[in-house]
Amino acid sequence: MDPVQSNAHHSRHVRHLWTAAGLIALAIGIIGAFLPVLPTTPLVLLAAYCFGKGSPRLRAWITSHPRFRASIEDWEATGAIPPKVKIFSCTIMAATFITSALLGLSPIALAAQGFLMGIGAIYVLTRPNR
Protein backbone atom coordinates (compact mmCIF):
# COMPACT_ATOMS: atom_id res chain seq x y z
CA MET A 1 0.00 0.00 0.00
CA ASP A 2 1.44 3.38 -0.89
CA PRO A 3 1.98 5.95 1.94
CA VAL A 4 -0.83 8.25 0.75
CA GLN A 5 -3.38 5.41 0.87
CA SER A 6 -2.00 4.32 4.25
CA ASN A 7 -2.45 7.84 5.70
CA ALA A 8 -5.99 8.11 4.33
CA HIS A 9 -6.82 4.70 5.79
CA HIS A 10 -5.33 5.70 9.15
CA SER A 11 -7.13 9.05 9.25
CA ARG A 12 -10.45 7.35 8.47
CA HIS A 13 -9.96 5.07 11.48
CA VAL A 14 -9.02 8.04 13.66
CA ARG A 15 -12.17 9.89 12.55
CA HIS A 16 -14.25 6.82 13.44
CA LEU A 17 -12.65 6.76 16.91
CA TRP A 18 -13.42 10.46 17.42
CA THR A 19 -17.00 9.89 16.29
CA ALA A 20 -17.39 6.91 18.62
CA ALA A 21 -15.99 8.94 21.52
CA GLY A 22 -18.49 11.70 20.73
CA LEU A 23 -21.40 9.27 20.62
CA ILE A 24 -20.35 7.74 23.95
CA ALA A 25 -20.01 11.19 25.55
CA LEU A 26 -23.40 12.25 24.21
CA ALA A 27 -25.07 9.04 25.40
CA ILE A 28 -23.65 9.45 28.91
CA GLY A 29 -24.63 13.13 28.85
CA ILE A 30 -28.21 12.25 27.93
CA ILE A 31 -28.30 9.71 30.75
CA GLY A 32 -27.00 12.53 32.97
CA ALA A 33 -30.11 14.55 32.16
CA PHE A 34 -32.03 11.97 34.20
CA LEU A 35 -29.37 11.09 36.79
CA PRO A 36 -28.14 14.23 38.54
CA VAL A 37 -24.74 12.69 39.35
CA LEU A 38 -23.62 12.74 35.71
CA PRO A 39 -22.72 16.18 34.29
CA THR A 40 -24.71 16.65 31.09
CA THR A 41 -23.26 19.91 29.79
CA PRO A 42 -19.54 18.99 29.93
CA LEU A 43 -20.31 15.70 28.20
CA VAL A 44 -22.27 17.46 25.46
CA LEU A 45 -19.34 19.87 25.01
CA LEU A 46 -16.99 16.90 24.80
CA ALA A 47 -19.27 15.27 22.23
CA ALA A 48 -19.27 18.46 20.13
CA TYR A 49 -15.47 18.55 20.25
CA CYS A 50 -15.17 14.88 19.30
CA PHE A 51 -17.67 15.27 16.47
CA GLY A 52 -15.61 18.22 15.22
CA LYS A 53 -12.67 15.82 14.83
CA GLY A 54 -14.64 12.87 13.51
CA SER A 55 -17.95 13.75 11.87
CA PRO A 56 -18.81 17.13 10.37
CA ARG A 57 -22.42 15.96 9.97
CA LEU A 58 -22.83 15.13 13.68
CA ARG A 59 -20.97 18.32 14.63
CA ALA A 60 -23.44 20.34 12.56
CA TRP A 61 -26.36 18.48 14.13
CA ILE A 62 -25.28 18.97 17.75
CA THR A 63 -24.32 22.62 17.30
CA SER A 64 -27.69 23.42 15.72
CA HIS A 65 -29.75 21.34 18.18
CA PRO A 66 -32.10 23.64 20.16
CA ARG A 67 -31.23 21.95 23.47
CA PHE A 68 -27.45 22.05 23.10
CA ARG A 69 -26.73 25.01 20.81
CA ALA A 70 -26.59 27.80 23.44
CA SER A 71 -24.26 25.93 25.79
CA ILE A 72 -21.90 25.00 22.97
CA GLU A 73 -21.89 28.53 21.53
CA ASP A 74 -21.28 30.11 24.96
CA TRP A 75 -18.47 27.70 25.73
CA GLU A 76 -16.76 28.03 22.37
CA ALA A 77 -17.05 31.83 22.30
CA THR A 78 -15.99 32.65 25.86
CA GLY A 79 -15.65 29.49 27.95
CA ALA A 80 -18.75 30.66 29.82
CA ILE A 81 -20.63 28.56 32.35
CA PRO A 82 -23.98 29.93 33.58
CA PRO A 83 -24.13 30.68 37.35
CA LYS A 84 -26.98 28.19 37.80
CA VAL A 85 -24.79 25.42 36.33
CA LYS A 86 -21.87 26.47 38.53
CA ILE A 87 -24.01 26.20 41.67
CA PHE A 88 -25.46 22.86 40.58
CA SER A 89 -22.02 21.45 39.76
CA CYS A 90 -20.50 22.48 43.09
CA THR A 91 -23.55 21.21 44.99
CA ILE A 92 -23.29 17.81 43.30
CA MET A 93 -19.56 17.65 44.06
CA ALA A 94 -20.18 18.47 47.72
CA ALA A 95 -23.05 15.98 47.99
CA THR A 96 -20.90 13.27 46.40
CA PHE A 97 -18.06 13.96 48.82
CA ILE A 98 -20.41 13.92 51.84
CA THR A 99 -22.01 10.68 50.63
CA SER A 100 -18.57 9.12 50.21
CA ALA A 101 -17.63 10.14 53.74
CA LEU A 102 -20.89 8.76 55.16
CA LEU A 103 -20.31 5.49 53.29
CA GLY A 104 -16.97 5.19 55.04
CA LEU A 105 -14.51 5.56 52.18
CA SER A 106 -10.91 5.41 53.30
CA PRO A 107 -9.20 8.67 54.27
CA ILE A 108 -6.88 8.31 51.26
CA ALA A 109 -9.82 7.94 48.89
CA LEU A 110 -11.57 10.92 50.49
CA ALA A 111 -8.43 13.03 50.26
CA ALA A 112 -7.99 12.16 46.58
CA GLN A 113 -11.67 12.77 45.88
CA GLY A 114 -11.65 16.07 47.78
CA PHE A 115 -8.49 17.24 46.01
CA LEU A 116 -9.76 16.38 42.52
CA MET A 117 -13.24 17.78 43.15
CA GLY A 118 -11.63 20.91 44.56
CA ILE A 119 -9.69 21.37 41.33
CA GLY A 120 -12.91 20.79 39.39
CA ALA A 121 -14.82 23.31 41.52
CA ILE A 122 -12.09 25.94 41.14
CA TYR A 123 -12.12 25.47 37.38
CA VAL A 124 -15.92 25.73 37.17
CA LEU A 125 -16.11 28.76 39.46
CA THR A 126 -13.38 30.68 37.61
CA ARG A 127 -15.06 30.41 34.19
CA PRO A 128 -16.94 33.51 33.05
CA ASN A 129 -20.72 33.67 33.45
CA ARG A 130 -22.97 33.51 30.39
CA separation for the pair 105, 100 (Å, rounded)? 6
What integer pLDDT is reported at residue 39 of this predicted model?
77
Task: Calculate mean pLDDT across residues 1-23.
Answer: 76
44 to 56, 67, 73: CA distances (angstroms): 15, 10, 12
Tell which residue, 90, 63, 66, 61, has the closest CA to residue 75: 63
| For the chain, domain boundaries | 3-78, 83-126
At residue 92, the pLDDT reads: 87
pTM of the predicted model, to two decimals?
Answer: 0.71
pLDDT at 2: 45
